[in-house]
Amino acid sequence: MKRWGKETLIYLLVIIIFSFTVDAWRTKDMPANTAPALVGISTTGEAIDVIAMSQEKPVVVYFWATWCAACRFVTPTINWFSDTYQVVGVSTSSGEDRRVSGYMRSHDYTFKNMNDTRGDISRKWGIQVTPTIVIIDKGEIKNITTGITTPMGLLARLWLI
């Protein structure tokens, strides 16, 4: 049992190191420290200013796509978090607003979402992969993670800021 526990810890450590390395590589072109402006209109017609929102409490910015296989695992978690935390989605290259709104309705996703039809926002932010989750607090980028994350992983990131 002692040997099994030791091996499990070693594997866990390797996975954590690998995950941090992959995140560092994928986010190398993304802004650090001060978040660039992220202002727009949601697919429901609501004006959104992420930096202003982050002055009150942290904002989870979720770069995703309707066609993204990994997003199918992460988006339900993001939607669940939107009940308690401020969440703004940015759907990238997913079609026109009507299509994205229909997709969100069919999956019962209720988080605020801006549709980045031409990928302008994603390019400005240096997004290389979906999903990418950025946590912004008081206009500062506090955490970035890419790829699949668990509810506990996202919760830990929010608690650590």
The single-letter code of the amino acid at 82 is: S
CB 92 within 8 A of CB 66: no
Query: How many domains is the chain built from?
Result: 1
CB 134 within 8 A of CB 144: yes
Query: Tens of pLDDT along the chain (161 residues)?
Result: 777 888 888 877 776 676 666 666 566 666 677 899 999 999 999 999 999 999 999 999 999 999 999 999 999 999 999 999 999 999 999 999 999 999 999 999 999 999 999 999 998 998 888 999 999 999 999 988 888 888 888 888 888 88
Q: In CATH, what number is assigned to the domain containing residue 86?
A: 3.40.30.10
State the residue range of the domain holding 94. 2-159
Q: How far apart are CA 144 and CA 139, in angstroms?
A: 14
pLDDT at 43: 95
- 125-154 pLDDT, tens per residue? 988 889 999 999 999 999 888 888 888 888
CA nearest neighbour of 130 among 51, 47, 67, 59: 67
Cα 75 to the center of its chain, rounded Å? 9
Cis peptide before 131 (omega within 30 of 0): yes
